[in-house]
Structure 1
Amino acid sequence: MMEFRVLPDDHADLSLSPLLRAARLTIGYADAHGGIGLTATKAFRRDFVHWAVEHFDWPGQSAAEVFRYRRLINEADFQPLELLHFLLIRLRLGRHHKGSFKVNNDGRMFAAQPGALFDRLIPSFLLAMDHAAYSRIGEPAPGNWNTWLNVMNVEIESGISERQLYGVFYGDGPDWDNDGWRQIAAFSACVLKPLEWSGLIAMQEAREPNGRPAHMIFKTPLWQSVLRLDTDDMVRPAIRH
């Protein structure tokens, strides 16, 4: 089993969650500006999309990266915002009204209480979302969150490469340079990316022993602060040099 602890609003580790930060920024912007304008297809208008790109400080998608190849960005071009828009509506923290996204009283209340907002937003995002639906691969990863989190709790304590972690769950056959790359990509999109966006893991560029580029996966302090897992007693503290 797994359990999410509710953290106090002033807990420093809450600042490590990109999705929480983006949600508070979006709610705050909508409240301060009387709403966020919508397109005819009910997406956020470009003026806010550009503001979000510049202010979200999203891992792996800095403003410089996003604007490198195009100057006009739609909501669909910035996936974190498109996903967040969906979540805010689904969790009833705001609604569409007369061509704008409007914050409601629950949205204002939760935005002022980061610990409570994290508890409302992140478990729903991780456990209830169909992550395959918004991935480029479109394929789910076999498994479930109880297994993934409890195994990762032990395996990533000292850091592990994305490929090595995939092997822990599914074996060593698939690799990025053979036909198994789709399975690894599905695992990355449906498990690792949601954890990174939630702020529970950090992914760093590195190289494997054979010299190949790799993403190394580490727990963030937020993982230890917010998650209570069956394997907690099995975790050996990482040796830090």
Structure 2
Amino acid sequence: MIFLRPISDPSAAMRHSPMLRAICLTFDYVTENGPIGLTTTRALKRYFVEWAAKAFEWPFYTAKDLYALNKVLNECDFPPLALTHDLLLSTKLARHKNGALHLTRLGRKLRDDPSAMWALLAERFLFATDHSGYTRFGDRLIGNWDVFLNVINVEAQLGVSEDRLCHVLYGPSESHDGHDAIRVKAALFIHVLRPLCWMGLLEEVRSGTGLKQEEHYFKTGIWREAFKLDTDSQLALVTEH
């Protein structure tokens, strides 16, 4: 079983984790402006979505990126915000009441303790959230977190591509038909790589565009502090410049 260790430097967690930054900014918004209005379908109202798109500056989902695809922004048009909203409710840091999103007592308490908030969010988002609904076909997780983290721990020591991780975890792509290989890769991203990036444990670096786009993943400064893994003894030394 994987256990998350405390992060001693809250500024490092804030710097690396777009999820933690977004939730802290949301809490500050509510403190200054009051509860956030909800639509009849219990989505966050457009005025907050538009504010969040600019304030969060979420990697690959900046306001510029979002408005390039949408004339107006609803919660469903800003996927990180939709997942942030779900996570706030599942961790009981916020709740719906009288047509608005309110902070709970726990949320107000943890706003002053970012390290504890990060630990709660990471535990829930990584290990207790079913991400199947965010995949195109409802694909479930293939594998377990112990294997994923130990493999990534070694492979991402100097940076690793998504294709390389799929090869190590699931074998050569030639062993699957093209359709299956795409779905396996997408499921790995949605269930494992994206949550690790959004919690600040991995950094995603993209190069190229369209069908030639490639993604590489690097461990951040809080990875080693958060995890003690069986493969730690296998890590190659990283040359620092």
**Scaled by the length of structure 2, what TM-score is found?**
0.91
2:224 counterpart letter in structure 1: Q
Contact 2:18 2:200 in 1 (8 A): yes
Identity of aligned residues (%): 38
Q: Provide the residue aligned with 1:164 in structure 2.
A: 164
Q: Provide the residue aligned with 1:66 in structure 2.
A: 66
User: Are residues 1:146 and 2:140 paired?
Assistant: no
Contact 2:201 2:222 in 1 (8 A): yes
State the distance in 1 between where 2:24 and 2:33 align.
14
Shift, 1:13, TM fit: 4.0
State the distance in 2 between where 1:177 and 1:160 align.
23
Stretches of structure 2 lacking an aligned partner (at least 5 in a row) = none
Q: Deviations over 1:53-105 (max 9, x none)?
A: 11111111111000112221111111111111111112111111111111122
Stretches of structure 1 lacking an aligned partner (at least 5 in a row) = none
Contact 2:6 2:225 in 1 (8 A): no
Shift, 1:10, TM fit: 3.9
User: Are residues 1:97 and 2:97 paired?
Assistant: yes
1:191 counterpart letter in structure 2: V
Q: Whose helix fraction is larger, Structure 1's or Structure 2's?
A: 2
1:206/1:67 CA distance change after superposition, 3 Å: closer
Q: How does 1:73-88 map onto structure 2 within 5 Å?
A: 73-88=73-88
Give aligned pairs, total. Answer: 238
1:104/1:213 CA distance change after superposition, 3 Å: closer
State the distance in 2 between where 1:35 and 1:65 align.
27
Contact 1:31 1:102 in 2 (8 A): no
Q: Provide the residue aligned with 2:8 in structure 1.
A: 8
Q: Provide the residue aligned with 1:195 in structure 2.
A: 196
Q: How does 1:22-37 map onto structure 2 within 5 Å?
A: 22-37=22-37
State the distance in 2 between where 1:153 and 1:97 align.
42
Shift, 1:213, TM fit: 3.5
Q: Provide the residue aligned with 1:42 in structure 2.
A: 42
Shift, 1:237, TM fit: 2.1
Q: Deviations over 1:191-241 (max 9, x none)?
A: 11111111111111247xxx9541111111121222222221221222356
Shift, 1:177, TM fit: 9.5
Q: Provide the residue aligned with 1:230 in structure 2.
A: 230
Of the structure 1 ranges 128-137 and 33-42, higher mean CA displacement relative to structure 2 is found in 128-137
1:200 counterpart letter in structure 2: L
1:154/1:32 CA distance change after superposition, 3 Å: same
State the distance in 2 between where 1:105 and 1:13 align.
22
**Scaled by the length of structure 1, what TM-score is found?**
0.91
State the distance in 1 between where 2:228 and 2:49 align.
36
What SS does the aligned partner of 1:231 have?
Answer: helix
State the distance in 1 between where 2:234 and 2:206 align.
27
State the distance in 1 between where 2:49 and 2:177 align.
35
Shift, 1:120, TM fit: 0.8
